[in-house]
Structure 1
Amino acid sequence: MTTAEDDLRERVQKLLASHDPQGDRMEFLRAQFDTGLAWVHFPAGLGGLDAPRALQAVVDAELAAAGAPNNDPRRIGIGLG
């Protein structure tokens, strides 16, 4: 386990402590974006932390274990009804 992974796990735990992953989906995803955990490889302030892309798997695993909503950018609702 690396320091970067530990840091990300700590950030995820803070996010989960302050925002209910079972609550409002969009509120949680906005908070995830604001904390840089949406796409960790994106620039800071734009949903990321300027971290290596491979570290997104750490965030995704922690959030999935907590039952958080999926942040898959390929999932859009346009034209679905």
Structure 2
Amino acid sequence: MGLIAWLIIGGLAGWIAGHIMRGGGFGILGNIGVGVVGAVIGGFIFDQVLGVGTGGFLGSLVSAIVGAVILLWVISKVHRA
């Protein structure tokens, strides 16, 4: 997948995860950052842990959203401690 697609998926995933976890986004750069890191986490979980491939735009977006939500949840737990 190309760099532009990674940025688009990252931005969408970060924005959606921000709305799921806190009710708002993090700005364009924050959304992309959360989404790209979430895509790495989600890709690992879906591929290595669950053994499910995430091909195509929609599969990548779903795994990135799941990973971004997990990332935001962990950050919220660490931030409170």
> TM-score with structure 2 length normalisation?
0.30
Larger Rg: 1
> TM-score with structure 1 length normalisation?
0.30
The structure whose RCO (Cα within 8 Å, separation 6+) is larger is 2
More helix by share: 2
